[in-house]
Amino acid sequence: METLGIFKDTETAGRAVESLVKSGFPEETITSLTSTPYPDGVLVKTNQRTWFRWLSVGGGIFGACAGFALAAGTAYLYPLQTGDKPIISYYPTGIITYELTMLFAILGALVGMFMEMKLPPWRKRVYDPAIGEGAIGISISTTRDQLSRSCEAQKIMQNAGALRTTSEETL
């Protein structure tokens, strides 16, 4: 279950986050939704690890192996002897290896980007159109059996100066 509070500025949103943390909500369950990017720790501190760069590196390594296997394997399977030159030559193999390295690194970066943005959304999330117009949203995730905690979060956010609060059951 998710509860969303809409705030007009960062000061009131920051007060709400501090109040929520002081009342016992874990910081991992609190996220901020804004139309402008804020550095980590301005509203909510997240220690979330990102897989973005590792997917790019993994894609690049896979692409390099696939490119070398394609170029060298093709030359090895279909040997064309030209004079005293090697069957697997460096420059064509290097070019194909480079191209497939870049292709798979870019595809890994795209997959990582979609994972970071949580696209496609697998479940319905609360959202308010005011966030796109400059308001700040503070969201708290609770489990379904913690309905009283969700109501408590709504009261805390309203006391901190929220313009309005919504939760999944009011959608």
Nearest to 142 by CA among 130, 163, 156: 156
Residues contacting residue 78 through CB under 8 Å, at least 6 positions apart:
none
Residue-range domain boundaries for the chain: 2-47+122-170, 52-116
pTM to 2 decimal places:
0.69
Please tell me the distance from the alpha carbon of residue 101 to that of residue 65, in angstroms, as a whole number: 8
Report pLDDT for 169: 64
Report pLDDT for 95: 97
Confidence of residue 170 (pLDDT cuts 50, 70, 90): low
* R_g of the chain computed on alpha carbons: 25
What's the CATH code, domain 2-47+122-170?
3.30.70
pLDDT mean across residues, the chain = 89
Please tell me the distance from the alpha carbon of residue 163 to that of residue 171, in angstroms, as a whole number: 17
Which secondary-structure segment (H or E) carries 5?
Answer: strand 2-7
The dihedral through the CA atoms of 80, 84, 87, 88 has a sign that is negative
Using one digit for the tens of pLDDT, what is the confidence trace for 87-111?
A: 888 999 999 999 999 999 999 999 9
Cα–Cα–Cα angle for 66, 72, 78, rounded to 5 degrees:
125
Percent of the chain with pLDDT over 70: 98
Residue 49 has pLDDT above 80, yes or no: no
